[in-house]
Amino acid sequence: MNMDLQNLVDQSPQISSLPTIFYQINEAVEDPESSFVEIGEIISGDPSLSARLLRIVNSSFFGFPNKIETITHAVTIVGMAQLRDLALATTVVNQFKGIPKNLIDMEKFWLHSVATGLAAKVIAIYRREANADRFYVMGMLHDLGRLLLLLNIPESMKTVVDKYASGGTMYDVENDVLGFDHAAAAGQLMQSWQLPEMLQEAVAYHHKPHQAPYYPVAASIVHVADFIAHGMELGSCGERFVPPLDPKAWEMLELPLSLLPSILEQVDRQVGEAVEMFL
Amino acid sequence: MNSVKIKLIREGMVTATEVKDRTGRILLASGKTLTSKHLKVLKTWGITEINIMSPKESSSGSGQSDKSISVDPSIVKAMDELFQFADRRHPVVSEFYNLCLNRKVKEDV
C-alpha cells in the first residue's frame, strides 16, 4: 500500500516536492548559528513569498499594534519557527493553485482548511502548547490528500464520489475503493516533502488519532478541530457530514467541555480574515 | 455537587472540591465560601469551571436556556442530517450539536 501511495505522490512532479526556498528557510531555522538577518535575506529573495508573509503578519490574525515593514522585522517579532510554518502554509496553498473547478470548489476547500487550522490553533493555545501556529498549519494541511487524489487519480475518485452518494463517510468509501484514504495520502505527501514527523502524523492520523504512534496529541487536536469545522459548516472538503468524534481524542486534549463555546466563538471571529490572508 | 461555569459563579457559593489550575497547583481549598477576591483569582488563572456544593445554586449547560425558543424544524432536520455519523450520546458531541444549532438559528434570524 505504501508503494502505491509513493507512486501516487510521484505522479505529479509539480507537487511531489516543495519549492527550494522553503528548504532553504527550514535549513536556516534549524541552524542554531543563523541569524534573524540571514533568514530575512533568504525569504526576501522571493518577493512574492515576502509579500504574502508580510500580509499575514500585519493582519488581525496576529494583531500587532505597529505595521511590520520588513521580513527581518517579522522574523524578530513572530519568531523563526513560526514564520517558517506560515511560509509553509502559504507555499502549499500556492502549490495547489489552478486545480480545475469541476473537481472541487477550492474556495470552500480552503475555507474548511483554514477553519480547521484556527480551531486547532485555539485548542493548542488552551493546552499551552509551544508554537500554536504549528497547529494552525497542521489543521490547514490536514485534507491536502484529497486534492492529491483528485489531481492524480480523478477516475478512481469519481468512483469514490459516486459510491459516497449512497451513504457513509467519504474516507470510509476511499478506504473501500482505493485501499487507503486522503489522510494516508497526505501523510505520504508530507513525508516526501520531508516535513516534520509531528506534522506527518497529525495529518495522516486525523481520522484515527489514537493510532498515531508518536504524536497522538497532535493528531487528536487536528481530529477535534476537523470535527468542529464540519459542525460549524465552514467550507467543505468534499465530506458533507460531521465525521464521528473519537472519544479518546477528546480525552487526550484534557480540556473542560466548557471551553467549547469559546473555541467556536474565536473561530467564527477570525475565519473571515484568515481566509483572505492565505488565499 | 455541580460543575458550574465561571460566568455563573457568584459570591457566597461554596466550593465542593479543590480548585486546581492546569498544572495541578491548588488555588482554592474545598469547602471555601467564595468572595469577590476569589473570583478575581479564578479569572486571573483562567479557570473555566469549578465544582460547587449547594445543588440549589446549580446552573445548567449553555444549550438549556435556548431550548424553550421554537426552532424552525427544517433547521433541526438539516442539523440532524449533518450529525448523522456523530454519536450524540457523547456529552461533547451533544454540547457541540446544541452550540451549532444555536449558532445556526441566530444566523437565520
Distance CA B96, CA A141 (A): 24
Asked if B94 and B79 sit in the same domain, the reply is: yes
Asked if B44 and B77 sit in the same domain, the reply is: no
Q: Which residue has the higher pLDDT, A166 or A139?
A: A139
Q: How confident is the model over A132-159, as a mean pLDDT?
A: 90
Asked if B51 and B77 sit in the same domain, the reply is: no
How many angstroms separate the Cα of A80 from the Cα of each of A34, A43, A173, A276, B95? 10, 11, 40, 23, 38
Asked if B15 and B42 sit in the same domain, the reply is: yes
A271 and B18 in contact (C-beta within 8 Å)?
no
Asked if B70 and B94 sit in the same domain, the reply is: yes
C-alpha cell at A246: 473519537
Q: Do A264 and B99 touch (CB under 8 A)?
A: yes
Q: How confident is the model over B43-67, as a mean pLDDT?
A: 62
Q: What CATH code is carried by the domain that includes residue B29?
A: 3.90.105.10
Worst-scoring range by mean pLDDT, A101-105, A113-117, A260-264? A101-105
Asked if B95 and B53 sit in the same domain, the reply is: no
**A-chain residues within 8 Å CB-CB of B3?**
258
What totals of helices (H) and strands (E) does chain A contain, helices first?
17, 0
Distance CA B73, CA A259 (A): 28
B14 and B62 in contact (C-beta within 8 Å)?
no
Whether B84 and chain A come into contact, CB under 8 Å, resolves to yes
- Structure confidence at residue B55 (pLDDT): 53
Superfamily of domain A2-278: Hypothetical protein af1432 (1.10.3210.10)
Res. B65 pLDDT band, cuts 50 70 90: very low
**Which residues in A have their CB inside 8 Å of a CB on B?**
128, 169, 227-228, 230-233, 240-245, 247, 250, 256-261, 264, 268
% pLDDT > 70, chain B? 84
Distance CA A39, CA A235 (A): 34
Sorted by sequence, the CB contacts under 8 Å of residue A48 that are 6+ apart come out as none
- Examine the pLDDT at A181 and tell me if it is beyond 60: yes
Asked if B68 and B53 sit in the same domain, the reply is: no
CA atoms within 13 A on the CB side of A173: 19
Asked if B7 and B50 sit in the same domain, the reply is: yes
Asked if B52 and B92 sit in the same domain, the reply is: no
Res. A3 pLDDT band, cuts 50 70 90: low
- Structure confidence at residue B68 (pLDDT): 53
A274 and A118 in contact (C-beta within 8 Å)?
yes
Sorted by sequence, the CB contacts under 8 Å of residue A222 that are 6+ apart come out as A116, A120, A135, A138, A139, A142, A202, A203, A206, A209
Q: What integer best gives the mean pLDDT of chain A?
A: 90
Res. A8 pLDDT band, cuts 50 70 90: confident
Asked if B13 and B53 sit in the same domain, the reply is: yes
Asked if B71 and B104 sit in the same domain, the reply is: yes
How many angstroms separate the Cα of A18 from the Cα of each of A23, A94, A207? 8, 10, 25
A145-179 burial, b for 16+ CB within 10 Å, e for fewer?
Answer: bbbbbbbbbeeebeebbebbeeeebbbbbbbebbe
- Structure confidence at residue A2 (pLDDT): 54
Distance CA A276, CA A274 (A): 6
Out of B5, B62, B93, the one facing A245 most closely (by C-beta) is B93
Asked if B68 and B84 sit in the same domain, the reply is: yes
Distance CA B14, CA B24 (A): 20
Å between B33 CA and nearest CA of chain A: 22
Encode pLDDT of A57-106 as tens digits.
988 778 888 899 999 999 999 888 889 999 999 999 888 887 777 778 88
The angle formed by the CA atoms of residues A273, A89 and A93, to the nearest 5 degrees, is 85
- Our count of domains for chain B comes to 2
A186 and A143 in contact (C-beta within 8 Å)?
yes
Res. A215 pLDDT band, cuts 50 70 90: very high
3-state secondary structure of B15: strand
Find which of A166, A245, A250, A262 to mutate to test the B interface (most B CBs within 10 Å of its CB): A245
- Structure confidence at residue B54 (pLDDT): 58
Beta-bridge mates of residue B9: none
Domain ranges in chain A are: 2-278
- Examine the pLDDT at A261 and tell me if it is beyond 80: yes
Q: How confident is the model over A199-206, as a mean pLDDT?
A: 96
Whether B39 and chain A come into contact, CB under 8 Å, resolves to no
- Examine the pLDDT at A35 and tell me if it is beyond 50: yes
3-state secondary structure of B14: strand
- Structure confidence at residue A131 (pLDDT): 84
- Structure confidence at residue B67 (pLDDT): 46
Q: What range defines the domain where residue B75 resides?
A: 64-108
C-alpha cell at B88: 450524540
